[in-house]
Amino acid sequence: MTDLQPVRGTRDLIGEDFRRHAHVINTAREISSRYGFEEWATPIFEDTRVFSRTLGDTSDVVTKEMYTFEDRGGDSLTLRPEGTAGVCRALVTGGLTQSLPQKVFYAGPMFRYERPQKGRYRQFHQIGCELIGPAEPLADAEVIACGWDILCALGIQAETVLELNTLGDAESRDAYRAALVAYFTTHKASLSEDSLMRLEKNPMRILDSKDEGDKKLVAAAPTIEPYLTEHAGNFFRDVQKYLTAFGVPFKINPRIVRGLDYYSHTAFEFVTTALGAQGTVLAGGRYDGLVEEMGGPSTPAIGWAAGIERLSMLVAEAPAAAQSVVIIPVGDEAEADCLWVLQELRRAKIRAEIGYSGNLKRRMIRANKINARAAVIIGVDEATSRVAKVRNLASGEQVEVPFDDLTTHLAG
């Protein structure tokens, strides 16, 4: 027995696991397409600066979780820990900042060195939508509505709650940061080491701390609402108005934050209690400064990402495996006609297989084992008359069907 196993924090997607995975992606691809999103694919590794610039030097992702390596040419590269930064880099390097808006859907693997647990892997997978260009609150609501419709199409909307907050504009955040610094400074002795560092550089990140002692302090920390400018307050009210018009239910959670300067206004998370500690299944926000961080012009944008593994776990039932039609030759003389029928069915977009060896009994056993829906039996007599025996493997009913009518008979 081999001692080679999947690397810790990774897993193989086989059978039902893959069908669930593909179902999430295909559903999201279809729904986002209805909203006008076009699919992009960016490389799974980038110049390390793509992520260190955009995720912030004090973030856990940059300081603890990125898979960073030096290639043979001496360049520092990083396996992508998230998808938005690569999309914005592609927008800039592809010269698309003059062709806005861009509505982008993506799906693929991401990589973070974390402690593996239920719903969390070191190679994990995400779907995401980015709407780049519009600065209006309607854009925020439409992107969120797209996410909601994907959850509805997956049949898991009843398991999730949309929690919504605002980060305000730059003036609002400056006032709020000052209030947070004043509050947490009076509690410095109780802050974790990570939060003490964030207090100096990015106090809003303390609100996202996973440390239990920090969480107690965060519960009593100021919220942003009293510090919102008139513009920021109106923007947030408009987002809520549009969400209501789209029929998307939500509740306000003032503790949802994003710590970096390029985030503004809307922040949101779809959360669930059905997965234990890993409660967030889809999250995003407005990031009006990120494209500029990549060297492009100041460009408003709003987007979200969702973990495919977590969404898959919420889907009640995996899609059924596709069923084949099995072609069974009886005698070597019938094999050429069987191959002709086999290819005719495939050209008609019917899933069809043929066994490579064995007598009629053994081939029928295999057909039932792979849960085939029908068997097409062709011997010398059938080849001569050009009429096959077709057996429904669920009912056992067998009928004779002319070769020329097989595709019509077996369609669907």
Does 209 map to a domain?
no
pLDDT at site 222: 93
pLDDT at site 276: 75
Are 266 and 236 spatial neighbours (Cβ–Cβ below 8 Å)?
yes
The structure tokens listed for 374 are 């029908």
Does 193 map to a domain?
no
Does 178 map to a domain?
no
d(CA 319, CA 172): 47
Question: Which of 294, 314, 334 is the last residue before a domain boundary?
Answer: 314
Ramachandran angles phi, psi of 78, nearest 5°: -135, 130
Asked if residue 277 and residue 142 are part of one domain, the reply reads yes
Asked if residue 365 and residue 329 are part of one domain, the reply reads yes
By DSSP bridging, strand 102-111 and strand 38-39 are parallel
Name the strands in the sheet holding 45-47, side by side, starting at the edge strand that comes first in the sequence.
45-47, 76-79, 68-70
- Could you give the C-alpha distances from 387 to 379, 391, 407, in angstroms and in order? 10, 13, 13
Does 350 map to a domain?
yes
Question: Which of 284, 314, 344 is the last residue before a domain boundary?
Answer: 314
Mean pLDDT of 270-293: 89
Asked if residue 302 and residue 362 are part of one domain, the reply reads no
Asked if residue 244 and residue 157 are part of one domain, the reply reads yes
Evaluated on CA atoms 32, 34, 37, 38, the torsion sign reads positive
The structure tokens listed for 8 are 């810790």
Mean pLDDT of 85-109: 97
pLDDT at site 356: 87
Are 32 and 146 spatial neighbours (Cβ–Cβ below 8 Å)?
yes
Are 360 and 330 spatial neighbours (Cβ–Cβ below 8 Å)?
yes
pLDDT at site 337: 95
Does 211 map to a domain?
no
Closest CA to 36 of 146, 119, 162, 128: 146
Asked if residue 370 and residue 234 are part of one domain, the reply reads no
d(CA 191, CA 283): 27
pLDDT at site 278: 59
Evaluated on CA atoms 362, 363, 366, 372, the torsion sign reads negative
Instruction: Give the CATH number, domain containing residue 345.
Output: 3.40.50.800
Does 205 map to a domain?
no
Name the strands in the sheet holding 398-402, side by side, starting at the edge strand that comes first in the sequence.
352-354, 325-329, 374-378, 387-392, 398-402
Residues with Cβ within 8 Å of 234's Cβ and at least 6 positions away in sequence, in order, are: none
Does 6 map to a domain?
no
d(CA 124, CA 109): 6
pLDDT at site 60: 62
Asked if residue 117 and residue 54 are part of one domain, the reply reads yes
Mean pLDDT of 308-316: 94
For the purposes of burial, counting CB atoms within 10 Å of the CB of 356, is it exposed (0-12), middle (13-18) or buried (19 or more)?
exposed
355-410 per-position pLDDT tens digit: 888 899 999 999 999 999 999 999 999 999 999 999 999 999 999 999 999 999 99
What is the average pLDDT score of the chain? 93
202-260 per-position pLDDT tens digit: 888 898 888 899 999 999 999 999 999 999 999 999 999 999 999 999 999 998 888 67
Question: Which of 261, 292, 314 is the last residue before a domain boundary?
Answer: 314
Evaluated on CA atoms 54, 136, 203, 122, the torsion sign reads negative
SS (H, E, C) the chain: CCCCCCCCCCCCCCCHHHHHHHHHHHHHHHHHHHCCCEECCCCCEEECHHHHHHHCCCCHHHHHHCCEEECCCCCEEEECCCCHHHHHHHHHHCCCCCCCCEEEEEEEEEECCCCCECCECCEEEEEEEEEECCCCHHHHHHHHHHHHHHHHHCCCHHHCEEEEEECCCHHHHHHHHHHHHHHHHCCHHHCCHHHHHHHHHCHHHHHHCCCHHHHHHHHCCCCCHHHCCHHHHHHHHHHHHHHHHHCCCCEECCCCCCCCCCCEEEEEEEECCCCCCCCEEEEEEECCCHHHHCCCCCCCEEEEEEEHHHHHHHCCCCCCCCCCEEEEECCHHHHHHHHHHHHHHHHCCCCEEECCCCCHHHHHHHHHHCCCCEEEEECHHHHHHCEEEEEECCCCCEEEEEHHHHHHHHCC
99-138 per-position pLDDT tens digit: 999 999 999 999 999 887 777 899 999 999 999 999 999 9
Query: Based on the structure, what is the number of domains in the chain?
Result: 2
15-55 per-position pLDDT tens digit: 999 999 999 999 999 999 999 999 999 999 999 999 987 77
Closest CA to 206 of 182, 231, 225: 182
Asked if residue 386 and residue 262 are part of one domain, the reply reads no
d(CA 318, CA 280): 21
142-201 per-position pLDDT tens digit: 999 999 999 999 999 999 999 999 999 999 999 999 999 999 999 988 999 889 988 888
44-81 per-position pLDDT tens digit: 999 999 998 777 665 666 667 899 999 999 999 999 99
Asked if residue 154 and residue 107 are part of one domain, the reply reads yes
Asked if residue 141 and residue 20 are part of one domain, the reply reads yes
Instruction: Give the CATH number, domain containing residue 51.
Output: 3.30.930.10
Are 389 and 406 spatial neighbours (Cβ–Cβ below 8 Å)?
no
Query: Which residues constitute the domain of residue 38?
Result: 16-169+229-314
Asked if residue 348 and residue 302 are part of one domain, the reply reads no
Asked if residue 101 and residue 28 are part of one domain, the reply reads yes
Asked if residue 329 and residue 308 are part of one domain, the reply reads no
Does 304 map to a domain?
yes
pLDDT at site 62: 65
